[in-house]
Each structure stands twice: as structure tokens, then as C-alpha cells.
């Protein structure tokens, strides 16, 4: 059996951290090999070494049996390796074809042959059965299409080994199915696929074998068909995992948030078309829907990032519309945005600074009116790092050096611990591992149990159904209806996600009182 990738004794040390500790890892030709583990387990670091982005402290790499010493990604590309990163590396203002050929463009003399690049990409799309319009501007396409563009970039450079880092983190359920079909197609054509993922359903559905890392070491490599999601989870975290928190039975409480007939335009496009909903103390209202249905705009309006063109938003009966972001935070509102790197963190600042960012005006953070209480801030940061299991346990570490899941823990820790009335959680578990999902679920449910109102937006239907007390379904900027989570079915929600209006009278919180 041909071995495409062999990595022996790989060790990668950063200041104060051993990210990879004497790892042995191999991948067979024409297999889909999943690499799983908690955030910070060393998965992405190991693949960055394979792709030439890091030079390991120790260890050896063989590709197709030949030893390689990659000094850069260019060396890895020349050896037939491609990598699609979790955060896509595309130029939004360029076309699909321009992005794919960027850095390796067809030229006639010094003149870029754009028409030739379009024809080349059309031929590749036919060969790999991939639906892309080479002339489309990247800023105008979905995240699922952007991922296909990244995969096509690797195929254009004749990659035989393709690494996908969290390939389903930003995809809808339909796009995940499309990705699975694409992986099967690539595998049948002799490609070797390595996927870094935290979604164990997809590990079981997509992969032939799975390697589990924990704290920089290999725990085991198993045939996927001979294992299960529960067994893999146990290997990842060393214990059984309980998702969904510990919800206690609560009666419908006082209305905390009311969104009344809100309309919002992004330029000339109407993103929200008369949205109305309410969230009460001691409840989680989940919002389900396919991506780009208006969820992001809705959460950002409530958080004060944008202002509605029509309608009103009330917090405890008081008008929230028109307040700036800092004033809304002062009123006890926490906001976990869907894009932690762009909207949730200052990547060039420390973990400690990020844990107080936006709430630094609070009295407990100040020793005098204009001076920060540095000792109190440091102590609180250490406490949050421990409670939320943020790794590494270093308050001075820059946010950009943390894994995606640990970056998310910083955002969740800051927003939840500093809020008192309402938490807006937009894709809170996107791109994080099973252990971090467990912690995030527990955090949101505990807040709900303690009387806070929680507005949860998630593309993960299982997550919405597991955590919510009521479920609102959004389609094309409109609420299709609200269901009681205890009785709602996937079929009902799926129909509403496709644009069918439905309303469950048992989900009317006001009438329950």
C-alpha cells in the first residue's frame, strides 16, 4: 500500500509551549485521513509544518518515500502539497479565475492572459466536476464557493496531497454534503486528502482513518469504520462529553428584548424585511436558517453596530435603537460575533487586554477615574483563563497566537462574564472542538438558568434544537415562524428554512404567562 505522507519524530517548540511532541503520522495514497483533537492539540501546527509554513524543531518528512526539507510553502507546493486554510486567503475584489491563478498566471511576455486563465479554470472545473464561474467576483460569492475556489487553487498547482483545515466550519448543511461528494470524487481520482476537523459526524461520514492528537501527542490512529463518534471524542478529551449544558425547567420570564418590525438595507439590498421577535429572561431563543438569511445583520443591529432603517429594538422596555455600542454594553448586553478574528478580538493585543476590551469603563477595572486597576485586571484574567480553559495559560500571550477555539473562548469569557441582561451569541461554536463546544453550551445554559436572556444564532440545527426553549426560523430576511423547541421537528424547521411559514401557538411566550 503506497504511503503518500510520512512524518517522524516531529517536534515543534514555541516560547513556553511544545505544540507538537515527537509525533509520528502517516497517510496513505487515495485516502481521506481525519486529524482531530481539541483546540490547541497541535493539529494545525503539524499541518503547517507539512505545508512548509513552519520548520520543525526536530523530525523528518517523507513525501512518496523521499525525504523532504521544506523551507517554505513554495517547496511544499512543488512537492505536490496544497493547503486550504480555515480562514480563506482570497482577494475579494478579484475574479474567481484571477484568485486561482494568482502567483502562477499564464503570461504572453509580461502581459497577463486573463482570457487564457478563464479557459484553464473552466477545463479544471469540468475535470473535477466543480461548479465555479471563473468570471465572478469573489466578494459576490458564498463561503462554500470560496472554499471550492481555495481547493481549485491547490488543484491548479497540481497538488496530489490536499490539506483542509476545518473545511466545514463556515458551511451550511447543504454545502457540507457538497463537500463530502467532492472529497469522494477527489479520492476516486487518486488524490490524498487530510482534513483537520472538530465535527465528528463528518469524520465518521468522510474519512477512512482518523488520527487523534491530545496536548501535542498522538493518542491513536484508527480505522474510522471500526470506531464511533463517542470513542473518538473520548480519545480527544480523555473523558465523556455532555453537550447541551444542564437546562433546568423554567417558566417564561419577563420580556428582556423586543425586536419590532425591523427593516434594514445594506446599500440597495433589503437584508431584513420586517423582523419581529422577543426574548425573555431565563430562556434561549434560537434562530435557525440557511446562511446569509439576515442573521448577521439582525445580531449586529441589536448590538448597536448598525441602525435599522425602520422599526425599533427595546431592552427591558427601553429603546435600544440609537445607542452606541459602548452604551449598549453598559446596559448589560454581551455580543459574541460570528467572526471572532475580525469583530471579536484585537489580534495584536494580549489575552488579558482582550478579556476586558469594550468593558474597560467598568468600575471594577479602575482604581481611579482615569487609571486602570492593573492588579485586579490581571487577577480576573487569570480567573477567566482557568474557568474557560484558555490555552496556553498565559495572560500576556497575543490573541493571534491562540488556536481558533481558544480565541473563541476568550470572546465568550469576556462577553458572558461582563453581561447581566442579554447575550447575543452568533455562531458561538463555529470552528471549535467538541470540548470547547461543551464549555460554550454550558456557559450559555448556565446564563439562561440564572435568569439571563439568550439569543442564539447557529447554522448547526442540532445545536439550535438542543439548546433552545423556542426556535425562530429566518428565511430571506423574514421570520417564517416560531416553534416550541420541545415539540419542533427537523422536518418542520427544514420546511421553514426553505420559505414555508408556520407558527406554533405553544411557542408564544407572552400567552404562557
Yes or no: say if 124 and 156 are a contact pair by the CB < 8 Å rule: yes
Q: Are residues 79 and 166 in the same domain?
A: yes
Structure letter (DSSP) for residue 95: B
For Cα atoms 248, 250, 256, give the angle at the middle one, nearest 5 degrees: 120
Using 50, 70 and 90 to split pLDDT, how confident is the model at 201?
Answer: confident
Question: 394 and 481: one domain?
Answer: yes
Domain co-membership, 340 together with 281:
yes
Q: What is the 3-state secondary structure (H, E, C) of 12-36?
A: EEECCEEEEEEEEEEEECCCEEEEE
Q: Domain for residue 262, yes or no?
A: no
Residue 253 is assigned to a structural domain of this protein: no
Cα–Cα distance list, 377 to 267, 366, 372 (Å): 41, 9, 8
Whether residue 260 is contained in a domain is answered as: no
**Domain that residue 19 falls in:** 3-237
Residue 178 CA to residue 198 CA, distance in Å, equals: 18
Candidates 253, 279, 248, 246; CA nearest to 423 is: 279
* Direct distance between the N- and C-terminal alpha carbons of the chain, in angstroms, rounded to an integer: 67
Q: Verify that 42 and 139 share a domain, yes or no.
A: yes
Residues facing 277 on adjacent strands: 259
- pLDDT over 80 at 413, yes or no: yes
- Does some domain include residue 160? yes
pLDDT of residue 100: 94
Asked if 32 and 206 count as a contact pair (C-beta separation under 8 A), the reply is: yes
Cell digits of residue 496: 421553514
Cell numbers placing 304? 448597536
pLDDT at 1 over 60: no
**Average predicted confidence (pLDDT) for the chain:** 91
Sign of CA dihedral 117, 119, 125, 128: negative
Percent of the chain topping pLDDT 90 = 66
Pair 225, 283 in one domain: no
Shared domain for 230 and 275, answered yes or no, is no
Q: Tens of pLDDT along 448-482?
A: 999 999 999 998 888 999 999 999 999 999 999 99
pLDDT for res 28: 96
Domain end (from 188, 216, 237): 237
Domain membership flag for residue 266:
no
pLDDT digits 0-9 by tens, 238-282: 888 888 899 998 888 999 999 999 999 998 899 999 999 999 999
Instruction: Please write the tens of the pLDDT for every residue from 299-358.
Output: 999 999 999 999 999 999 999 988 889 999 999 999 999 989 889 999 999 999 999 998
pTM as predicted: 0.72
Say whether both 377 and 433 belong to one domain: yes
Which residues, in sequence order, are CB contacts of 239 under 8 Å at separation 6+?
Answer: none
CA distances from 16 to 19, 43, 250, 410 (A): 10, 18, 46, 20
Handedness of CA 380, 386, 387, 389 (dihedral sign): positive
- In this structure, what C-alpha cell is assigned to residue 201? 459526524
pLDDT the model gives residue 511: 61
pLDDT attached to residue 86: 80
Task: Please state, in angstroms and rounded to a whole number, the distance separating the CA atoms of residues 224 and 430.
Answer: 24
Considering the domain architecture, whether residues 288 and 197 belong to the same structural domain is answered as: no
Residues 199, 340, single domain; the answer is no
Query: In the chain, how many domains are there?
Result: 2
| Cα 370 → chain centroid | 37
| 126 domain residue, yes or no | yes
Q: What is the pLDDT of residues 56-107, one digit of tens each?
A: 999 999 999 999 999 999 999 999 999 998 878 899 999 999 999 999 899 9
Q: 51 versus 321: which is more confidently predicted? A: 51
In this prediction, residue 436 carries a pLDDT of: 85
Of 320 and 433, more confident: 320
At residue 322, φ and ψ (nearest 5 deg) are 100, -20
Length of the chain: 513
Percent of the chain with pLDDT over 70: 97
Q: 237, 262, 290: which is the final residue of a domain?
A: 237
* Phi, psi for residue 461 in degrees, rounded to 5: -60, -35
Q: Spell out a b/e string for 413-422, using b for 16 or more CB atoms within 10 Å of the CB, else e.
A: bbbbbbbebb
Find the mean pLDDT for residues 26-31.
96
What tens digit of pLDDT does each residue of 494-512 get? Answer: 889 888 898 776 677 766 5
**16 and 145 assigned to the same domain:** yes
Is residue 476 in a domain?
Answer: yes
Within-domain flag for 47? yes
What is the per-residue pLDDT for 198? 75
Cα separation of 391 and 387, whole Å? 11
Rounded average pLDDT over 140-156: 89
Tell me: do 307 and 444 sit in the same domain: yes
Tell whether 363 and 292 lie within a shared domain: yes
How far is the C-alpha of 399 from the C-alpha of 404, rounded, in Å? Answer: 10
What are 438-451's pLDDT values in tens digits?
Answer: 999 999 999 999 99
Spatial CB neighbours of 231, under 8 Å, sequence gap ≥ 6: none
**In this structure, what CATH number is given to the domain that contains residue 479?**
3.40.50.300
Is residue 170 within 8 A of residue 145, CB to CB? The reply is no
- Strands 453-457 and 283-288 turn out to be parallel
Whether the bond between 392 and the residue before it is cis, its omega within 30 degrees of 0, is yes
Nearest to 121 by CA among 81, 160, 149: 149
Amino acid at each position: 500500500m503506497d504511503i503518500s505522507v510520512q512524518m517522524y519524530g516531529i517536534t515543534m517548540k514555541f516560547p513556553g509551549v511544545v505544540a507538537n511532541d515527537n509525533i509520528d503520522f502517516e497517510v496513505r495514497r487515495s485516502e481521506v485521513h481525519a486529524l482531530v483533537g481539541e483546540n490547541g492539540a497541535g493539529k494545525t501546527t503539524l499541518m503547517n509544518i507539512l505545508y512548509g509554513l513552519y520548520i520543525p524543531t526536530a523530525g523528518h518528512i517523507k513525501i512518496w518515500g523521499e525525504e523532504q526539507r521544506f523551507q517554505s510553502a513554495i517547496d511544499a507546493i512543488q512537492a505536490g502539497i496544497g493547503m486550504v486554510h480555515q480562514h480563506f486567503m482570497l482577494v475579494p475584489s478579484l475574479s474567481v479565475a484571477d484568485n486561482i491563478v494568482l502567483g502562477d498566471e499564464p503570461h504572453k511576455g509580461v502581459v497577463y492572459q486573463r482570457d487564457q486563465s478563464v479557459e484553464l479554470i473552466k477545463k479544471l472545473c469540468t475535470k473535477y466536476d466543480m461548479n465555479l464561474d471563473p468570471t465572478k467576483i469573489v466578494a459576490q460569492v458564498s463561503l462554500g464557493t470560496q472554499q471550492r475556489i481555495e481547493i481549485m487553487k491547490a488543484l491548479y498547482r497540481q497538488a496530489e496531497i490536499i490539506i483542509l483545515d476545518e473545511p466545514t466550519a463556515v458551511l451550511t448543511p447543504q454545502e457540507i454534503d457538497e463537500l463530502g461528494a467532492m472529497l469522494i470524487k477527489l479520492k476516486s481520482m487518486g488524490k490524498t486528502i487530510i482534513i483537520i476537523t472538530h465535527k465528528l459526524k463528518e469524520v465518521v461520514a468522510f474519512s477512512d482513518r482518523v488520527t487523534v492528537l491530545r496536548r501535542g501527542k498522538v493518542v491513536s490512529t484508527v480505522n474510522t469504520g471500526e470506531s464511533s463518534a463517542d470513542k473518538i471524542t473520548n480519545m480527544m478529551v480523555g473523558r465523556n462529553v455532555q453537550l447541551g449544558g444542564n437546562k433546568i425547567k423554567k417558566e417564561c420570564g419577563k420580556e428582556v428584548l423586543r425586536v419590532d418590525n425591523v427593516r434594514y438595507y445594506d446599500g440597495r439590498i433589503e437584508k431584513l424585511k420586517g423582523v419581529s421577535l422577543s426574548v425573555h429572561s431565563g430562556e434561549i431563543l434560537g434562530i435557525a436558517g440557511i446562511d446569509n438569511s439576515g442573521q448577521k445583520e439582525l445580531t449586529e443591529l441589536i448590538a448597536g453596530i448598525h441602525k435599522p432603517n425602520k422599526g425599533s429594538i427595546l431592552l427591558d422596555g427601553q429603546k435600544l435603537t440609537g445607542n452606541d455600542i459602548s452604551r449598549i454594553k453598559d446596559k448589560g448586553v454581551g455580543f459574541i460575533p460570528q467572526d471572532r478574528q475580525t469583530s471579536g478580538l484585537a489580534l495584536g493585543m494580549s489575552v488579558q487586554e482582550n478579556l476586558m476590551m469594550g468593558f474597560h469603563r467598568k468600575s471594577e477595572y479602575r482604581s481611579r477615574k482615569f487609571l486602570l486597576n492593573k492588579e485586579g485586571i490581571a487577577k480576573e484574567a487569570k480567573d477567566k483563563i482557568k474557568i474557560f480553559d484558555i490555552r496556553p495559560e498565559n495572560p500576556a500571550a497575543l490573541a493571534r497566537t491562540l488556536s481558533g477555539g481558544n480565541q473563541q473562548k476568550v470572546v465568550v469569557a469576556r462577553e458572558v462574564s461582563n453581561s447581566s441582561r442579554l447575550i447575543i451569541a452568533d455562531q458561538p461554536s463555529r470552528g471549535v472542538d467538541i470540548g470547547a463546544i461543551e464549555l460554550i453550551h454550558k456557559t450559555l445554559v448556565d446564563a439562561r438558568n440564572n435568569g439571563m436572556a439568550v439569543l442564539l444564532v447557529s447554522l448547526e440545527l442540532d445545536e439550535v434544537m438542543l439548546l433552545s426553549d423556542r426556535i425562530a426560523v429566518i428565511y430571506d430576511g423574514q421570520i417564517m415562524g416560531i416553534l416550541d423547541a420541545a415539540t419542533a421537528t427537523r422536518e418542520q424547521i427544514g420546511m421553514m428554512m426553505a420559505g414555508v411559514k408556520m407558527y406554533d401557538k405553544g411557542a408564544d411566550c407572552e400567552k404562557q404567562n
